[in-house]
Amino acid sequence: MGMANKGLRLAAVGAVTALALAACGGGSSSSSDSSASGGAGSGEPTKGGTIYYLTNAEQFDQIDPQRIYTGEDLAFFNGTIYRTLTAYKFSADAAEGTSLVPDLATDTGTVADGGKTWSFTLVDGATFQDGAPITCADVAYGVSRTFATDVITGGPTYAISMLDIPTAEDGSSAYKGPYTGEGQELFDKAVTCSADGKTVTFHLNKPVPDFNYTTTLLSFSPVPKAADTGEKYGDAPVASGPYLIESNKNGKGGKMVLARNPKWDPASDTYRGAFPDNWEVDYGIDPKVIDQRTMTSSGNDSFAINNGIEPEQLAVVFKSPTEANPEYNGRAISTLDPYVRYFAINTQKVPNLKIRQAIAVALDREALRKNAGGDFSGDYADGVIKPNMGQDFAPTGMWDTLLGQKIPDTGDPEYAKKLIAESGEAAPTITFDYPQSPTADKAAAIVVDSLGKAGITAKPNPIEPGQYYGVVFDPEKAHELINAGWGPDWPNASTIIPELFTPTGGFNLSQYDNPEYNKAVDAAKVELDRAKQAKMWQDLNTQAMADVVVVPTRFGREQRMAGKQVGPIYLWPAYGSWPYGQMYAGQ
């Protein structure tokens, strides 16, 4: 765990697979199960009360809507203070939980011009916390902030790559954001408002059949221009949802308190339940303490939620990776998360395919998985598209056929040696980059040991977690083998394959640049027939595995828990998070 959750800045979407559905059936995730836990009844959710979100983090990475990019945070803020044009349905079900519903818009968008023009009409009665009605201009202004890349850092940049705005000579957008105003007329042409200010239209530079998924991101949420304080907007953002930030103090012992937004009109928002009166995020709590408090669930802790369970407690809380122990039944979840864990192989530094194959073959994936928590940490992966991605997933056969013969989970050092002999090169010396933690140190020891058995010398290179992606994204500093994890931004592999395996992707740690592959990716991106597109992603996933661009290790599984009075208890497939917008404190 650790790295993927901590370091990834992306929204994650997925559908729970048959496997994970079994998990739900096993008693961990449907809300009807909570009656079995004895605490909660099965009546209507109570209005009122406070939900306590206990976290080890000392602050949110970002509170500014245009800069938030971690799945959990997107879900939390979208469910509480920021509204977006479209949103995902609240459901534990694989397909339903990733299907679109309108939020600030009256429907999920109108497409024209073969996918190059998208329009959304805003609902009546939606206002900001000061009572001002939300207009098309506010939506457009919010989107425009993404272009100020020197001020609005860290957020998704889909607006920049998708909107029909010419690029400057250096490849950056000719529009520099609202603060300098350079190229404003270009932006105003790409995002237009109807005369009554009720309809916003996006003009794209190429067809994007799933653009209305993009608009679920908070970077497409409205911001009133008058209240924008640039870099510091996150200190006092303007709420459009049912809650507003009453106070926020970062650090250990600090907390964020959300109170009801008096100007929010329930009639304009059929999406959110807005059950509790308050939300309280308690920062900087030791993970062991979080476990202890949620497990005991006394006093206010019966309204607590957490987002992770320490390894030593897993066997206490769960009977198996799919079933909680009776004491915690109905309030503990163990299910597949949206992430795939893998090791990227730097193809610039390891250009020889046979060597890359040898690395993949030699790795002891079973030991790696045991170290991460055994079957609690996930299932063996065979690619970067996870089964809970629905139609885009197909087994790649990586460990059965792609590498020439069947490879056991424990690795096959003899076969790896043979591959090295065939490569025409000497057995390589490689360095393994990973974000340091005690568990990751042990994983590194496993990498060193298992590659060593095949004659490959591996050196561990622990990097401070906070600096990790800063280092490995730097081609000068990244080494041969790079620990990573990725989850899609919405349920289309268009947010996986191009990001991971093309030079223009944002997460191409392998520095993979294969012209033919790039061409196939471009074709898949604009394919309008979703079934056809799914087949193309499946093939591209398999091709990348055949070329051993990465070594997939696990389809991650995650565990979390809530106090006895909180519901509903399931992992929302849309973001692999709690369904914040629908949660309640007591029934």
Q: Binders of other proteins among 441-460, rule CB under 8 A?
A: 441-442, 444-446, 448-449, 459-460
Question: Which part of the chain contacts other proteins (CB under 8 A), choosing from 17-25, 111-119, 261-269, 311-319?
Answer: 311-319
- Read off φ and ψ for residue 89, nearest 5 degrees: -70, 145
Judge residue 322's burial from the number of C-beta atoms within 10 Å of its C-beta, 0-12 exposed, 13-18 middle, 19 or more buried: buried
Q: In the bound complex, what is the minimum distance in angstroms from residue 295's beta carbon to other proteins?
A: 12
Q: In the bound complex, what is the minimum distance in angstroms from residue 404's beta carbon to other proteins?
A: 25
Q: In the bound complex, what is the minimum distance in angstroms from residue 69's beta carbon to other proteins?
A: 7
Footprint (CB under 8 A) of other proteins, residues 110-149 = 149
Whole-Å CA distances, 387 to 16, 17, 21, 259: 8, 6, 12, 39
577 forms beta bridges with: 572
Residue 471 as a binder of other proteins (CB under 8 A): the answer is yes
Contact 314, 557 (CB under 8 A): no
Residue 408 as a binder of other proteins (CB under 8 A): the answer is no
Residue 210 as a binder of other proteins (CB under 8 A): the answer is no
Residue 321 as a binder of other proteins (CB under 8 A): the answer is yes
Q: In the bound complex, what is the minimum distance in angstroms from residue 447's beta carbon to other proteins?
A: 9
Q: In the bound complex, what is the minimum distance in angstroms from residue 365's beta carbon to other proteins?
A: 12
Name residues whose C-beta falls within 8 Å of residue 474's C-beta, 6 or more positions apart in sequence.
none
Contact 510, 347 (CB under 8 A): yes
Helix (H) or strand (E) holding 500: helix 497-501
* x/- track of binding to other proteins for residues 62-81 (CB under 8 A): -------x------------
Residue 203 as a binder of other proteins (CB under 8 A): the answer is no
Question: Which part of the chain contacts other proteins (CB under 8 A), choosing from 32-40, 265-273, 315-323, 395-403?
Answer: 315-323
Residue 285 as a binder of other proteins (CB under 8 A): the answer is yes
Nearer to other proteins, 265 or 464 (CB): 464
Footprint (CB under 8 A) of other proteins, residues 160-199 = 160, 170-172, 179-180
- How far is Cα 245 from Cα 53, in angstroms, rounded to an integer? 14
Q: Which two tokens stand for residue 372?
A: 């991460």
Query: Read out DSSP for 181-200?
Result: -TTHHHHHHHEEE-TTS-EE
DSSP state of 399: I
- How far is Cα 165 from Cα 159, in angstroms, rounded to an integer? 10
Nearer to other proteins, 461 or 543 (CB): 461
Question: Which part of the chain contacts other proteins (CB under 8 A), choosing from 114-122, 210-218, 420-428, 467-475?
Answer: 467-475
**Three-state DSSP state, 545:** helix
Among 111, 174, 462, 539, binds other proteins (CB under 8 A): 462
Q: What is the CA radius of gyration of the chain?
A: 24
Q: In the bound complex, what is the minimum distance in angstroms from residue 581's beta carbon to other proteins?
A: 26
- How far is Cα 202 from Cα 105, in angstroms, rounded to an integer? 14
Number of Cβ within 10 Å of residue 224's Cβ equals: 18
* x/- track of binding to other proteins for residues 364-383 (CB under 8 A): x-xx--xxxxxxx-------
Contact 219, 142 (CB under 8 A): yes
Nearest C-alpha neighbor of 239 from the set 140, 142, 128, 132:
128
Q: In the bound complex, what is the minimum distance in angstroms from residue 219's beta carbon to other proteins?
A: 12
Among 189, 288, 530, 532, binds other proteins (CB under 8 A): 288
Footprint (CB under 8 A) of other proteins, residues 213-242 = 230-232, 234-235
Residue 475 as a binder of other proteins (CB under 8 A): the answer is no
Nearer to other proteins, 152 or 190 (CB): 152
